[in-house]
Amino acid sequence: MRCTVFGTGYLGATHAACMAELGHDVVGVDVDPGKVAKLADGVVPFYEPGLEEVLQRNLAAGRLRFTTDYSDAAAHADVHFLGVGTPQKKGEYGADLKYVHAVVDTLAPMLERPAMIVGKSTVPVGTAAALGIRAREQANVEVEVAWNPEFLREGFAVQDTLRPDRLVLGLDHVRERSAWVEQHIREIYADLIAAEIPFLLTDLATAELVKVSANAFLATKISFINAVSEVCEATGADVTMLADALGYDARIGRRFLNAGLGFGGGCLPKDIRAFMARSGELGADHAVAFLREVDNINMRRRTKVVDMAARACGGSLLGANVAVLGAAFKPESDDVRDSPALNVAGMIQLHGAVVTVYDPKAVENSRRVFPTLNYATSVSEACDRADVVLVLTEWNEFTALTPADLDPVVRSRSIIDGRNCLDSTSWRQAGWVYAGLGTP
């Protein structure tokens, strides 16, 4: 089937390449000519394992191309996926929908035959219905709006697109052509449905709420175990063993119960804040008031690690030499949006320390956000004459470190494990001062 994908950032580029991988004829559209040129040359402008191979394979097969020309995209297909960003508004909690509106306002007047706009972006509930009205006011043909939220995990985006946990499609059931939309989406995902991936048909509002509710739940689970870790620190209990014990309960499960520096990235923080903002607009802010504390707990972990670093340096960071291992918000990603690791590095520098950061993939992105930090090209370079080493992103390269790897280069044998990903016993037995979060 022929389809377009508007927006070629993390979500859009992944969706476009994977739809082509499923055999569809896909055009990716973006207003950034530089991004379009890179993708057309088979270069992914961000790090995502496996995506570049999928991109190059489908470019070579002729199933995928990229353009800045909206009229070309409008003529290409009847199914238009919307994958642009919905960042947090400056100075507010709410989501900024200007990119979503820009696509609809530009595309709708160009449509020459009945078409559907299928949202992938994470948006506040009520957005899809409003977009349907907005599109039909500007189009000269019938336009339907549906919502098909994404559930991608950075580092696993290709897998999560080609073999997702579930497919959700929200339709405006009042519209006569909703069955037409469903038919087309079922055809696009025919291989996935044949593989018995659950396909859930909902109304528009439910589809919009599925994604933000999922993110809110995951954020709550992470902040819950981090809140418990604060109690563990006050009592001498071990939060890792506690989480293992909780994880055996099938009602709870072990995933997302890893205490540490907390969550970041381009989804969870801004999505829970947008959820709170939208709930307030709907008069239901009391229902999600707990998310404010979820957010507070998460941010508190960052200042906790800064305090731990100061204690490791004798009570003051002024003049200390601090090595930070990790800048991306999670491993297998170069994404530094709202990264706890990079945030901590910046705060430590503001306290007067000399901070050197190393990350296998995120150095260039980090340099654009925090150009005043020092950046290294290896672990040993970052840790050279360090007074304390902070492990803040759990890359395999860091979890595999041993005391012998760092002994020759550091000034003081002190390490803070911000992700509880190291073997504390082996580091302590080797004479290091080891500190984790929520562990004795």
Q: How many CA atoms lie within 13 A of 273 on its CB side?
A: 22
Give kind and range of the element (H or E) at residue 170: strand 167-171
Which residue numbers are catalytic? 267
* pTM (predicted TM-score): 0.94
- What are the C-alpha distances in Å from 122 to residues 62, 214, 268, 333, 423? 30, 11, 11, 20, 38
Tokens of 319: 């003049």
φ, ψ of residue 64 in degrees (nearest 5): -140, 135
pLDDT at res. 256: 95
Tell me if residue 360 falls in helix, strand or coil: coil
Q: Report DSSP state, residue 87.
A: P
Contacts of 371 (CB under 8 A, 6+ apart): none
pLDDT at res. 436: 97
φ, ψ of residue 437 in degrees (nearest 5): -105, 115
pLDDT at res. 50: 97
Tokens of 147: 């919502």
Contacts of 284 (CB under 8 A, 6+ apart): none
Contacts of 280 (CB under 8 A, 6+ apart): none
Could you say which architecture CATH assigns to the domain 203-440? Answer: 3-Layer(aba) Sandwich (3.40)
- Tokens 């998310």 correspond to 291
pLDDT at res. 267: 93
- Tokens 């579930």 correspond to 166
Could you say which architecture CATH assigns to the domain 2-197? Answer: 3-Layer(aba) Sandwich (3.40)
Tell me if residue 375 falls in helix, strand or coil: strand
pLDDT 10s digits, 232-264: 999 999 999 999 999 999 999 999 999 999 999
Tell me if residue 213 falls in helix, strand or coil: helix
Residues (pLDDT < 70) of the chain are none
Q: How far apart are CA 165 and CA 363, in angstroms?
A: 32
Residues of CATH 3.40.50.720 domain(s) within the chain? 2-197, 203-440
- Tokens 């175990």 correspond to 225
Is the backbone of residue 73 left (phi > 0), alpha (psi -120 to 50) or beta?
alpha
The length of the chain is: 440
Q: Which of 190, 145, 153 is nearest to 51 (CA)?
A: 153
